[in-house]
Amino acid sequence: MPDMDEIYKVNENIYIGAYWPRLNFNKLEREGITAIVNLMDEKLYTPPWRKYAYLYKGFPDNTYPPHEYLKEILNFMDLHIKEKNGKVLVHC
């Protein structure tokens, strides 16, 4: 079973994780995370005090993301990975 306090590396530039406050910011910094996609249903935070690019696209847990969300999320990730050589964390 996954540890909800961890982030998991999908590939060199994409990570997944759970709810934001449980995430370890020191680990995010060590891993070189530069951008965050928040898919939580409720927008419980905005990370103004950290140097992360940030995209909020929340939707209810019992549904799939709308098509227009997917396009925007993928464009955001593409920008930060390909053009800015960054690493993106996607969490819900």
Q: How far is CA 64 from CA 39, 68, 83, 91, in A?
A: 11, 11, 28, 14
Q: What is the pLDDT of residues 60-76, one digit of tens each?
A: 767 777 888 899 999 99
Q: How confident is the model at residue 89 (pLDDT cuts 50, 70, 90)?
A: very high
Residue 27: exposure state from Cβ atoms within 10 A (0-12, 13-18, ≥19): middle
CATH of the domain at 22: 3.90.190.10
**Assigned domain for 84 exists:** yes
User: Average pLDDT of 22-34?
Assistant: 81
Q: Which domain holds residue 53?
A: 7-91
Tally of structural domains, the chain: 1
**Assigned domain for 1 exists:** no
Long-range contacts formed by 78-84: CB under 8 A, 24+ apart: 80/34, 80/35, 80/53, 81/13, 81/14, 84/34, 84/35
